[in-house]
Amino acid sequence: MASQCARADVADRRRIWTGKRQSAMRRQPVRLVFIDETSLNTRMTRLRGRAPRGKRLKAQAPFGRWKTQTFIAGLRCDELTAPWVIEGAMDRGAFDVCVAKLDLPNRILRRKRCDVVLE
């Protein structure tokens, strides 16, 4: 157990979280918004495929210029909010730009009353 868990202020906040906030969120899951990101690397492109017998498979794939793309969005139980794709990996600078440039918290909060969870 982490040492800060023994502190009285942390224990009080945990009690409030589990007693009030968590139960309220369970009653209204539509209010929850999880801001999350995932990435895709073009090196993961399949090298082989399938085609009907006697036919040649024709497809395009990147060659020699591997790229990474990152997708970030607010995930709700019924929709995606404020999706955004960037070239490259997500780091602190890219996340700050995402929040500032896209006004992400306000775009998410504007539509419905909700609780935002950053992962």
Domain assignment present for residue 12? The answer is no
Distance CA 33, CA 74 (A): 6
Distance CA 89, CA 68 (A): 6
Q: In this predicted structure, what is the pLDDT of residue 112?
A: 59
Domain assignment present for residue 9? The answer is no
In one-letter notation, the amino acid at residue 82 is A
pLDDT in tens, 11-39: 888 888 888 878 877 888 877 778 788 88
Phi and psi torsions of 4, nearest 5°: -70, -15
Q: For 40-66, what is the mean pLDDT?
A: 81
Domain assignment present for residue 14? The answer is no
Distance CA 89, CA 72 (A): 11
pLDDT in tens, 79-119: 887 788 888 888 888 878 777 766 655 665 565 566 666 65
Total number of domains constituting the chain: 1
Q: In this predicted structure, what is the pLDDT of residue 55?
A: 93
Tokens of 107: 């775009």
